[in-house]
Chain A
């Protein structure tokens, strides 16, 4: 039984190596991926792309040897050495350029995390165990088709689960479905029609009043309160040599930057130094 299962392993490891090799050799953005990872630091900027492609060639060759007959112990040994080498490169990558992408199987930016290590370790162990296999994987499938499909599917699922590159195909859709079903942030939508202060500030920054007075403003928002249909926003300001306060009135429940009012006041002597709109608010 163990020998039968281990006979199937070259199909899994070979499949992954062929995929990885094909991407490195023929992927549209493979060159860009090679330049962005930890490889340039290891082999030099000019050699990164050729080395990356060469690794792809080796992967493709070893993968093909594993997939094609006959069964040879040397194939499994080569694959094990390759996977252990990858573990080493992942460790180097994590240490030297932790936010860089592995570039192992695709051009998706996937920093080296525990899943990358786990996948390489699983492939290394699978390669080692493949040495125990006696039959070619095609023969193993033919001898027990249903069981073989189950084993291969299970192994593929493990590889997919450990491949962050592939999260967009299954994990993200699952999470989106969960959000659609559970509405975890639904409370924020039901919070009423209160306009956040951030919206009033946005309106202010786009208003003619701020355009006129912005050069005097020195601080970020000092304080704010609501006054009927207006939201009052205060900033510290400097008017010539005088310390002043820039006070703006922003329509609270409407988005009308042109209606924003502004004034510059000296709170010490209660004088109004400048006003943007002279018309009083209707009673």
Chain B
């Protein structure tokens, strides 16, 4: 695979999730698949951190080939609907991509995102949008903003 294909940015929807020894219905989630996840850290979940992870999230069912990225990999996330951005590291496996195949969100500038390939901790999501929004279209890159 050519380097440009490996590192090409992905346009996807992101939601947010809680992890660590958190309050509420998140209480039993633990520290995530990588053992380092915290709601208060700038981290994310990715649907292809390992074979086991891929077998659960199945992004291929949505036609997405989420490239294998392992725990600790850095992503640069930019909101498609404004200029907000955040740097995050993979700390968990997720989201459940194959539940939401075909879901599409567009901004007024015509920029859209399809499918759910990204999940951010509350700390990370709140840097690019309000937690009450639930999901946002974003640009995901491994190269930079």
Contacts and interface: CB of A to CB of B under 8 A. Distances in A.
Interface of A: 32, 35-36, 98-99, 201, 205-208, 210-211, 214-215, 220-221, 257-258
Nearest to A260: B108
Given A32-B55, A205-B133, A214-B82, 16 more contacts: A35-B55, A201-B132, A205-B107, A205-B129, A207-B108, A208-B109, A210-B108, A211-B81, A211-B82, A211-B108, A214-B79, A214-B81, A215-B82, A215-B84, A220-B131, A258-B108
A35 B81 CA distance: 39
Interface of B: 28, 52, 55-56, 79, 81-84, 106-109, 129-133, 136
Most B CB contacts (10 A, CB to CB) among A205, A206, A214, A220 go to A205
A214 B55 CA distance: 38
Contacts of A36: 52, 55-56
A214 B84 contact: yes
Contacts of A208: 108-109
A206 B130 contact: no
A201 B133 contact: yes
Given A98-B28, A206-B106, A215-B83, A221 B55 contact: no
Nearest to B85: A215
B132 A210 contact: no
B130 A221 contact: yes
A155 B131 CA distance: 49
Contacts of B133: 201, 205
Contact of B108 (A201, A206, A215): A206
A142 B38 CA distance: 64
A277 to B, nearest CB: 13
A205 B56 contact: no
A211 B107 contact: yes
Given A99-B28, A214-B84, A257 B130 contact: no
A206 B106 CA distance: 7
